[in-house]
Chain A
Amino acid sequence: MSKRIVVDPITRIEGHLRIEVIVDDNNIVQEAYSSSTLWRGIETILKGRDPRDAGFFTQRICGVCTYSHYRAGIIAVEDALGINPPLNAKLVRSLMNMALYLHDHPVHFYHLHGLDWVDVVSALSADPHKAADEAFKYSSNPIACGADSLVETLKRVGDFVKKGNLGPFANAYWGHKTYRFTPEQNLIALSHYLKALEMQRIAAQMMAVLGGKQPHPQSLTVGGVTCIMDLQDPSRLGEFLTKFKEMADFVNRAYYPDLVMAAKAYASEPSVNAGLGTANLITSKEFLVNGNEYLFDGGVILNGDISKVFDIDEAKITEEATHSWYADDEALHPYNGKTNPKYTGFKDEETLNGKGKMENTKVIKENEKYSWVKSPRYNGKPMQVGPLANIVINYAKGNKRVTKVVDQFLKDAGLPLKAVFSTLGRTAARMIEAKIVADNGLEAFNSLIQNLKVDDSTYTSYQIDKNKEYKGRFLGNAPRGILGHWVKIKNGVIENYQAVVPSTWNAGPKDAKGVRGPYEESLVGLKIADLSQPLEIIRVVHSFDPCIACAVHMMDTKGNELSQYKVDLSCFY
């Protein structure tokens, strides 16, 4: 008989996410549901406000990819107003996005996703000397893996475990049979977990040098950037450069080798060597490195066919709400989207609890609406977004910066190209993306230095004509994938605002045709060893790096259609 498993909350993510699966007698997932359980309404709040403020509001969609929505909000308004910011401003924005990636990707792997791969308790039985030797198998110059630091790590963690109160590490799935690292490999990864806690501070400082603070930097403005004094100060630029290099070093000496180690150890683990899920991929061009060149190119791949890469046609992007808690189900382009919140709640059902017993639970109504996330579609199809899509599309396009790293990684890990299409591939692609940024990002820095010698402009003046109507959009990549913001401006204030966010693409529920979203699709066919400890589910979902506050946002864009919270625009002017 089939059984339903509820995992809520999915922890070690941004935001509030619930996953439900139906398994058969062999514990194989037959059906999956992705449900977000929080709704905030930021786009509605934006209506009627000063367009110059849009970026500050959208920034608060998310404090993890804290810069993505800020930049998107600023550039969408610039696009609407027809503003072309100076090259210095564009390069600073690109460098700040790199700082974000070099923070976000390692933090995801080590602190959010890491415990799905690393068994902390197993590390305690490691031989630190053997582990130190082991580290050289994956890197010719490992970091934080000398016998001295491993002995220290062992002692630190050992003392912690001996206390009997594991704090944030309590109640986890230690000893789960799908953990594949040896004790020595666990110890190496654990040492990097601690080292990465230190390194992420440096990456955040890198952002703060040009952004004032991180999370939530504050140096972008419609028309350019404000950090001109820092750009004129060689010691500040030097700080950025040094911190960039420190992070690049960590990516090359810890993050890359750890993924090679994981790829080898987990190559035959069925819960990670499959699970591509949705095989339609989409990504945007990103990371300006000089006047006209980008590190990554954009495109679309359908049905996993890497022989053909299509250009993005923005008109094909729609969102629908058949299974989302909104009243209007129809598929609409973001400029015309509408939303009327319509919460229909859960139903009561007995499910298997964490102790393997049946317990009364609130479960979703799978035939009705079940999530605050909508279902974005491209030409009617669900799309997987994120580093995997970005790396695969750029590989297919023959982007030399990408093919070089991918080929090297596959060679080091001893895997064929098709291995990329998996949960492991999603996690590895994130590292590969970080490495490409780390290895090439300073091209943008050098372009900035060259340009500053002849041009110190950071801002383009503009006027907002209150009698004109404007519309514009941003399309680019955030750490979790392609991000779009759409804005309409009328009477000098924001009339409509809409964001289609990476985690909306990935976390969305089924559409009108019953086609699953990417999280859901990637879980079907997964075998779960122990139904009361569904580590496999968590591992697969974490490989997408969920950012649910981003995914759930207010979809309304048509001023007066929010009947429940109707805002009378006429009183604004």
Chain B
Amino acid sequence: MKQRNLYQDLSNRLGKLSNLPKMKDDGKSIASLLEEHGVSRRDFMKWAASMTALLALPASFSPLIAKAAELTDRLPVIWLHMAECTGCSESLLRTDAPTIDSLIFDYISLEYHETLMAAAGWQAEQTLEESIKKYKGRYVLMVEGGIPSGKSNFYLTVGPKGQTGESHAKEAADNALAIFAIGTCSSFGGIQAAAPNPTNAQPLYKVTKKPVINVPGCPPSEKNIVGNILQYILFGTLPALDAYNRPKWAYGKRIHDQCERRAHFDAGEFIQEFGDEGAKKGYCLYKVGCKGPYTFNNCPRVRFNQHTSWPVQVGHGCIGCSEPDFWDKMGPFEAPLSDRLYHTVFGGLGADATADKIGETILTVTALGIAAHAAISIIKKPKE
């Protein structure tokens, strides 16, 4: 019954969206666009079904998802680059064969994206100004990168007027319909915000008062980016978020609980050192530093590059890249947290000491619990 109501709500909302004037008045729907690109209705529905599953909605919602995608052409998108490495933009370029995700992205009308746009200099700046004005309150803002802020905002300037990145981000956020922080830098500050944060780089939510949906990952998979656009169109509000404003559908589960090597953890079968016999057998990576137990993301299910692989599959532990401050909290990346002997941030204290002296309690207790299991399971391991 409850599900029925939700379905009804979504239908109503989509109905309202349908009645909004279209941004491009060419009378074309995304369906005809898909057809032009050789994507059949059937392929599109299949894709919609897989996105439905990914969004953790019941299968009966597929038709709604498809409808939502068809409505995306009402949404202009502005993508800003702050202090970043362009890895998130690159991730977006890896959209799925048969090119359907990139198509969707094209169709939401990418107004400003410095890596892809043809215009430069004055003409680029003009595009940004005009887009913000023309689509005021109607565009989706996506921001990649941390933002040098406050007295340090001069560490990034953009455009012929030498405006700071911070002021660009603020203005674009103030006039946006919805705001997504794409990647860990924009969500949590990222690598440039790692201690001692020399440029005072801040996450997007610190420079705007408006709500920001965080889509962390270094970089996030293209599925997580596209899924979030759909999430917004469907619900018209912020999606269900966790404590770090991450959509629960993507970041609701621990890597460790979804991991293909989990059985080896439970059986106490660990790689002791890279390249050993355990590594050849695909044993658990915990003892060589896997941070899967402390990391929430859908990498084991969705993987990267059209499901080609993910770090654990190529024999390396998770480094916790979608968690806040992971650069400072998850290192060293190739040793268990409980073995940490030195660390920049907390002045070389071991994790055990950290719990007492700094109060990073929860993380550490978890670390110790997991470590205890890793140690005990070896002792308890039944003889073969």
A175 to chain B, nearest CB (A): 13
Contacts of B114-136 to chain A: CB distance below 8 A: 114-127
Within 8 A of A (CB), among B62-90: 81, 83-90
Question: Chain A's nearest CB lies how many Å from the CB of B251?
Answer: 17
Subset of 11 A-B contacts with CB under 8 Å? A13-B115, A14-B115, A62-B85, A63-B84, A155-B36, A159-B36, A168-B117, A205-B308, A218-B314, A219-B316, A571-B347
Interface membership of A212, Cβ < 8 A: yes
Q: Which of A216, A224, A359, A456 contacts B219 (CB 8 A)?
A: A216
Q: In the complex, which of the residues A112, A204, A458 contacts B305, with contact meaning CB atoms closer than 8 Å?
A: A204
Take A9-B159, A64-B90 as given contacts and tell me if A354 and B342 are in contact as well, using a CB distance cutoff of 8 Å: no
User: Closest CB of chain A to B220's CB: distance in Å?
Assistant: 11
Restricting to A410-468, which residues have a CB under 8 Å from any CB of B?
456-461
Contacts of A212 in B (CB 8 A): 304, 309-314, 316
Contact with B along A4-18 (1 / 0, CB 8 A): 001111111111100
Of the residues A11, A48, A223, contact of B124 by C-beta under 8 Å: A11
| B347–A213 CB distance below 8 A | no
A114 to chain B, nearest CB (A): 10
Query: Which chain B residue lies CB-closest to A57?
Result: B191
Q: Decide: B344 and A47 in contact? CB cutoff 8 A.
A: yes
Are B348 and A42 within 8 A (Cβ)?
A: no
Q: Is A38 in the interface zone, CB < 8 Å from B?
A: yes
Q: Is the Cβ of B198 less than 8 Å from the Cβ of A45?
A: yes
A481 CB to closest chain B CB, in angstroms? 18
**Partner pick for B280 among A53, A205, A229, CB 8 A cutoff:** A229
A197 lies within 8 A of chain B by Cβ: yes
Q: Nearest B residue to A547 by beta-carbon distance? A: B86
A contacts with B, residue count (CB < 8 A): 115
A45-B194, A219-B315, A459-B274 known; A361+B160 contact, CB < 8 A: yes
Interface centre among A38, A40, A534, A572 (most CB of B within 10 A): A40
Closest chain-A Cβ to B199's Cβ sits at a distance in Å of 6
Distance, CA A200 to CA B201, complexed state (A): 32
Q: Which of A338-346, A391-399, A400-408, A517-525 contacts B (4 or more CB under 8 A)?
A: A338-346
User: In the assembled complex, how far is the CB of residue B148 from the closest CB belonging to chain A, in whole angstroms?
Assistant: 8
Asked if B218 and A60 sit within 8 Å, CB to CB, the answer is yes
Verify A226–B315 contact, CB threshold 8 A: yes
- Interface size for B (C-beta < 8 A) is 98
Scoring A residues 99 to 130 as 1 if CB is less than 8 Å from chain B, else 0, what string do you get? 00000000100011001000010000000000
Cβ-defined contact, B275 with A224, below 8 A: yes
A39 touches B314 (CB 8 A): no
> B39 to chain A: closest CB distance in Å?
12
Q: A50-B342, A213-B304, A213-B310 are in contact. Are A9 and B121 (CB under 8 A)?
A: yes
B239 adjacent to chain A (CB < 8 Å): no
The interface residues of chain A lying within 8 Å CB-to-CB of B114 are: 9, 11-12
Q: Tell me if B195 counts as interface (CB < 8 A to partner A).
A: yes
Given contacts A162-B26, A226-B279, 17 further A-B contacts (CB under 8 A): A6-B160, A12-B120, A49-B332, A66-B90, A111-B116, A168-B118, A205-B306, A209-B308, A212-B313, A213-B311, A218-B311, A219-B311, A226-B316, A459-B274, A459-B279, A549-B84, A549-B85
CA distance A53 to B274 in the complex (A): 15
A514 within 8 Å of B (CB atoms): no
Q: Is there a chain B Cβ closer than 8 Å to A221's Cβ?
A: yes
A170 with B332: CB separation less than 8 A: no
CB A493 to nearest CB in B, in angstroms, measures 6
Residue A292 interfacial (CB < 8 Å): no
Provide the B1-31 mask, 1 if CB < 8 A to any CB of A, else 0: 0000000000000000000000110101000
Residues in A with CB closer than 8 Å to B382 are none
Pair B333/A53 contact, Cβ less than 8 Å: yes
Binary A-proximity of B287-314 (CB < 8 A = 1, otherwise 0)? 0000000000000000111101111111
Q: Are B327 and A215 in contact (CB under 8 A)?
A: no
Complex contact B122–A354 (CB within 8 A): yes
> A228 touching B23 by the CB < 8 A rule?
no
Residue A26 is within 8 A (CB to CB) of chain B in the complex:
no
Answer whether residue B226 sits at the interface, using C-beta atoms and an 8 A cutoff: no
Q: Does A367 contact B (CB under 8 A)?
A: no
- Which of B28, B162, B165 has its CB near the most chain A CB atoms (within 10 A)? B162
**Distance between A208 CB and nearest chain B CB, rounded to angstroms:** 4
CB distance from A534 to the nearest CB of B (A): 7
Q: B282 in the interface, Cβ–Cβ < 8 Å? A: yes
Interface string of B271-282 (1 = CB under 8 A from A): 001111001101
Chain A residues near B120: list those with CB within 8 A.
7, 9-12, 538
Q: Which of A38, A162, A204, A229 has the most CB of B within 10 A?
A: A38
Residues of A within 8 A of B160 (CB): 6, 8, 351, 353, 359, 361-362
User: What is the bound-complex CA distance between A228 and B91, given in angstroms?
Assistant: 25
Q: How far is the CA of A457 from the CA of B315 in the complex (A)?
A: 14
Please tell me if A169 contacts chain B, counting CB pairs below 8 Å: yes
A232 contacts which chain B residues (CB < 8 A)?
Answer: 280
Identify which of B45-53, B102-110, B173-181, B207-215 touches chain A.
B102-110
Q: Does B154 contact A (CB under 8 A)?
A: yes
CB < 8 Å neighbour of B191 from A13, A50, A60 = A60
B192 within 8 A of A: yes
Instruction: Give Cα distance in the complex from A372 to B152, angstroms.
Output: 14
Q: List the A residue with the shortest CB-CB distance to B195.
A: A45
A531 to chain B, nearest CB (A): 11
Interface flag for B156 (CB, 8 Å): yes
Bound-state Cα–Cα, A255 to B24, Å: 34
Interface contact A16-B87, CB-CB below 8 Å: no
Q: Is A171 an interface residue (CB 8 A)?
A: yes
* B95 is an interface residue with CB less than 8 A from chain A: yes
Verify if B319 is at the interface (C-beta below 8 Å from A).
yes
Residue B232 interfacial (CB < 8 Å): no
Q: Which residue of A lies closest to B38 (CB)?
A: A152
CB of A165 closer than 8 Å to a CB of B:
yes
Residues of chain B with a CB closer than 8 A to A532's CB: 122
Report whether A223 and B275 are in contact in the complex, using a CB–CB cutoff of 8 Å: yes
Q: Which of A210, A218, A354 has the most CB of B within 10 A?
A: A218
Contact of A41 among B87, B192, B279 (CB under 8 A): B192
Which of A9, A14, A39, A204 has the largest count of B CB atoms less than 10 A from its CB? A9
The 8 A CB mask of A25-48 against B (1 = contact, 0 = none) is 000000000000111111011011
Interchain CA distance A216-B111 in the complex, whole Å: 27
Asked if A215 contacts B314 (CB within 8 A), the reply is no
Q: Quick check: is B161 within 8 A (CB to CB) of the other chain?
A: yes
Which one of A57, A170, A207, A562 lies within 8 Å of B119 (CB-CB)?
A170
Q: Is B85 a contact partner of A12 (Cβ separation < 8 A)?
A: no
Q: Which residues of A contact B312 (CB under 8 A)?
A: 212
In the bound assembly, the distance between CA atoms of A216 and B185 in angstroms comes to 14
Closest A residue to B77 by beta carbon equals: A167
Residues of A within 8 A of B116 (CB): 12, 111, 168
Per CB-CB distance, the 5 closest pairs between chain A and chain B, nearest first, are: A63-B87, A459-B275, A354-B122, A362-B162, A172-B118
CA of A64 to CA of B219 in the docked complex: distance in angstroms?
12
8 Å CB contacts to A: which residues of B334-376? 334-335, 341-344, 347-348
Please determine whether B192 and A572 come into contact, CB atoms closer than 8 angstroms. no
- B residues in contact with A14, CB < 8 Å: 85-86, 115
> A167 CA to B75 CA in the complex, in Å?
12
| Alpha-carbon distance A111/B306, docked complex (angstroms) | 21
The chain B residue with its CB closest to the CB of A550 is B85
Please measure, in the bound complex, the distance between the C-alpha atom of A8 and the C-alpha atom of B121, giving whole angstroms.
4
Say whether A138 faces chain B, with CB atoms less than 8 Å apart. Answer: no
- Least distance between B140 CB and chain A CB atoms (Å): 14
A198 contacts B280, CB within 8 Å? no
- Segment 187-242 of A: residues with Cβ below 8 Å from B: 197-198, 200-201, 204-205, 207-219, 221, 223-224, 226-230, 232
Is the beta-carbon distance between B192 and A45 smaller than 8 angstroms?
A: yes
Q: For the complex formed, measure the closest distance between the CB of B73 and the CB atoms of chain A, giving whole angstroms.
A: 10
Q: A37-B158, A459-B275 are in contact. Are A45 and B119 (CB under 8 A)?
A: no
Assess A216 versus B87: contact at CB under 8 Å? Given A37-B156, A208-B304, A565-B196: yes
Structural contact, B280 and A456, CB atoms closer than 8 A: yes
A321 in contact (CB, < 8 A):
no
